[in-house]
Amino acid sequence: MRRETLVIGVLIALVLLPMWYVGIQGEATSEEIQIDQSVSEIQPLSGPVDLPNKLSPSQVGVIVWIALFGLYGVLAGAHRFMNTAVRPSDPDAEAVVSDGGYSGQDDAERELEPPDERTDGGVNRPSWLTAENRWLVEYHDATGSNEGIIVMGALTVLAIVFSALFTGEYLTLARTQYFGLYATGLFLSLAALTVAYYAWFMPHVEVAEKREH
Amino acid sequence: MLNRIYGWFDRRFDLEDSSKFLGKAFPAEDSFLLGEVALFTFFLLVMTGIFLGFFFEPSTTEVTYDGSVAQYQDQELPAAFASVLYITYDIPFGMFLRRLHHWAAHFFVASIGLHMLRVFFSGAYRNPREPNWVVGGLLALLAIFAAYTGYSLPFDEFASTATGIGYSIANSIPIVGDIISKIVFGGEYPSSATLPRFYFLHVFAIPVAIMALIGVHMAILIRQKHTEGPRSSDVAGEQTVEKDDDTYVIGLPAFPNQAAVSVVVFFLTLAFVSLLAGFLPVHNVAAYGPNDPASTPELIMPDWFLMWVFGFLKVMPSWMSFTVPFTDIHVSTEFLSGVVLPGIVFGLVFLWPFIDYRKDPTHFTVNPLRRPWQTAVGVAAVTFIMIASIAGMNNILADVIAVSTGTINNILLVATLVYPLVAGAITYYILRGNGREESQERGEPAADGGSRSMKPTSENGPTDGPSDDPTADSSPSGGEADD
C-alpha cells in the first residue's frame, strides 16, 4: 500500500471508527414480544440464534455499511473469478479474435499460419456481438468440462433444497430466521450457479466499440 | 415453435435490427457494479412494497386490535400501527418481507452513496457526464425522501417523534414554512391527514419520480457509454485500439456476458439483504408502541442517513439565530442547520462537475491519488459528514465518555469545522506532486508549483488503473487547456 493511500485511510478512519463505535451503542434491548398462539400458530420470532430484538437507526447505519462493504467484496471476488476463470492461465496463449487471427502471436507467426477461411474467423458467435462500430477483441471459447457439469448439478440440487425448505417453513411455523437462512442459501446457490455457468459454459468475450455512434 | 414466436415479434418490432444493442460494451470494473446494487435494491423495494401495500392501512383512526401480540390485544390502536403489527406477527411471510423492505431501503440509500463516492473520486462525473451526475444526485435526494416518508408510516412512538423533527424544520422556513409544512404534513403534525399524504408520496409520487430518473440515468449511460478504467496496453482486434484512445470503449458485451454478471449481482444483493432480514430486526414497532403525543421516547434520532442534518441541529449555537432588521422575519437555528446547511451541501454536490470542469470530454476514470485538490475536497467532505453524524448522536457519545452534552457539543462544533479542513489540507499536501499532468491539461499551475511544461506523451499515458501508483495518469484524452 502506498504511503498516500495509508495516510488518507488513517485520516478517514480517525473519524469513521469513532462514528461507528458511537453508532453501534444504540439502545438497550427490550422485552421479547409475546405472541398469543391461540390467535396465530406461526412463530416469526423463533429461531436458532439469540440476537437483539431491537436496533436503533444508528446501529442500523453501521450494520448496513459493513454489509454493503461485505457485499462489494464478494461481488468483486465473483466478478474477477468470472472474468479470469475461462481465460487461459498463460497470458500468451491463443485468443481468437475477430479478424480471423489470434492474439498472443507476433506478426511473423500470424503470416505462417493464415486465418480460418470463414469470414467470422472460424468462431461461432451471436450475430449481435459485432456491428459496424463494434468488433471482437477477445474470444475464449467455453471449456464445457465435466467438472463444470458436476458443480452446476450440485448447485442446482442445493437451490432446490433451499427453495423446498423455504416453502416448508411458510407452510409450518414461518420462523423469520429460517426464512432468512433459506432465502440466503437459495440466492447464494443461484449466484454461484450463474458464476459456474459463466466460468465453464460461456465464452469469454470482449468487444471494442466506438463511442460516437 | 420458438422460431415462429420470434418471427412473429421480429416482423412487428424489427428485433433482428435492434438485437445489435445486445452487444454494447460494458467495461469489466468491480466498482461499476455498485449502481446495479442500487438498481436491484430498488426493484426489491418495489416488490416487497407491493406486498406490504396489500395489508397496510394509512390511517390514524383508532381500531380494536385483535391480533396475536399479547400486550396490545383488545386495545384501541391507530389503524396504521395495528396493520403493521398484523403484517409483522400474523402473516407467515410478513415479518421477513417487512424486514426485507427496510433493509433494502437502507441498502438503496447506502449503495447510491457509495456509488456517488466512486464516481466522485474516480472523476467519472466530468464532461460529458455532468447531467448524469445531477440526475444521480436527484436520485439520492429522492431515495432519502422516500425513506423518510416510509419511516413514519407505522405511526409508532419512535418514528413519529423522529418524523416530527422534519416537521419542525419545514415549519422553521421563514415566510413559507407554515404553508410548506401544511402541504407536506397535512396540517400541524401529526394530524389525521399526515399518514395518507406520506403514504401517497411514499408509494406513488416518489417511486414514480425515482423510476423516471433511473430511466433517464440509464438512457444517458447508454447514449454516452460507460467510463472505462485506464488500459495497461494497446488492445488488439480487427483494429488496434491504442491504450490511451478513449474514443473507443472496451468491455464485455451486454448479452450474454454482462447480463450474466448482472444476474450474479442481483442474486448476491438478494442474499445479503435476506441474511440481514432474517436475523436482524429493523424498527421493532411492537417494542416502541403506538404514537403517544403525551410522551417523549428516551432516544430520539432520525435514520442514519439524516444523522448529519440532526448533528447540525444539535451543535449549531443558538446565538446564530436572528431577526431580519426592519421586518418580523425570524431566521432560526433550525432553519439554518436543517435547511440552509444541507441546502449548501447538496448545492455543492450538484455544482461539483461545473466547479471541476473540463472543456474536453474525457472517458477514462482517474486514480484519486492523481487528483490532489479534488481528492482533498472529497476527503474533507466525507469527514465533515461523518463528524456531523457523530454530533447527531451526541447524547450517546456523552454517555460513552461520561461528560455532559454541552461540553461534547462544543468539542463537536469545533471538530466539525476544523477536522475536515485539516484532513483536506493533509490530503492535498501528500498528493500535491501527483497531479501535475492533470493540472497541465486543465491549464492550471502544477499543484506543487512546478513547471507547466507538458511531459512527453508516453509519460502522460495511462497505466494500470487499480494500482495505487500515483504515476498512473488516467486522463489521456485531454491535451489542451480547457478553460
Distances (CA, A) of B370 to A110, B219, B467, B469: 39, 30, 12, 9
Shortest Cα distance, chain A CAs vs residue B204, angstroms: 25
Dihedral, CA of residue B424, residue B425, residue B430 and residue B431, to nearest 10: 60
Chain A within 8 Å of B165 (Cβ-Cβ)? no
pLDDT digits (tens, 9 = 90+) for A36-54: 999 999 999 999 999 888 8
- Is B103's Cβ below 8 Å from some Cβ in A? yes
Place of cell 480471423: A100
pLDDT tens track for B20-49: 889 999 998 899 999 999 999 999 999 999
> Confidence band (pLDDT; 50, 70, 90) for B299?
confident
Share of chain B above pLDDT 90, in %: 76
Cα(B164)–Cα(A202) distance, rounded to whole angstroms?
Answer: 54
Average pLDDT value for chain B? 89
> Residue A115 pLDDT more than 90?
no
- What is the grid cell recorded at A213? 455512434
DSSP designation for B340: I
The predicted structure's pLDDT at residue B16: 80
More confident residue, B437 or B11: B11
The one-letter amino acid code at B164 reads: G
Q: Which residue, chain included where needed, has cell 498516500?
A: A4
Grid coordinates given for A41: 400458530
Q: Is B372 on the interface with A (CB under 8 A)?
A: no
The residue-averaged pLDDT of A78-99 equals 65
Grid cell digits, residue B231: 488500459
Please provide the distance, in angstroms rounded to a whole number, between the alpha carbons at the two ends of chain B. 60
> pLDDT value at position A107?
46
Q: Which residue bears the cell 395495528?
A: B82
Alpha-carbon distance of A165 to A168, in angstroms, equals 5
Please write the tens of the pLDDT for every residue from B119-151: 999 999 999 999 999 999 999 999 999 999 999
Q: Which of residues 308-347 of B touch A (CB under 8 A)?
A: none
Contact B437, B456 (CB under 8 A): no
A176 closest CB neighbour out of B23, B241, B278: B278
Cα R_g (chain A), whole angstroms:
26
Instruction: Give the DSSP H or E segment for A178.
Output: helix A176-201
If you write DSSP's letter for every residue of B90-101 in order, what string do you get? HSTTHHHHHHHH
Under an 8 A CB cutoff, do B390 and A18 touch?
yes
In percent, how much of chain B has pLDDT > 70? 90
Q: Are strands B322-323 and B330-331 parallel, antiparallel or unpaired?
A: antiparallel
Q: What was the ipTM of the complex prediction?
A: 0.89
Model confidence pLDDT, tens digit, residues B391-446: 999 999 999 999 999 999 999 999 999 999 999 999 999 999 886 655 555 555 44
Is-contact B147 B105, C-beta < 8 A? yes
pLDDT at B441: 53
Chain B, window 261-290: residues with a beta carbon less than 8 angstroms from a chain A beta carbon: 261, 263-265, 267-272, 274-282, 284, 286-287
B455 has a pLDDT exceeding 70: no
B233 touching A (Cβ < 8 Å): no
Cell numbers 402473516 label which residue?
A: B91
Whether pLDDT at A80 is above 70: yes
- A68: nearest CB among B114, B275, B284: B114
Pairwise CA distance, residues B55 & B94, whole Å: 10
Hey, are the CB atoms on A63 and B99 less than 8 Å from each other?
Answer: no
- Out of A54-58, A104-108, A163-167, B184-188, pick the least confident: A104-108
- Distance from the A88 Cα atom to the nearest Cα atom in chain B, whole angstroms: 17
A27/B393 Cα distance (integer angstroms):
12
Q: What distance in Å separates the CA atoms of residue B439 and residue B450, rounded to the nearest whole number?
A: 11
Contact A71 B302 (CB under 8 A): no
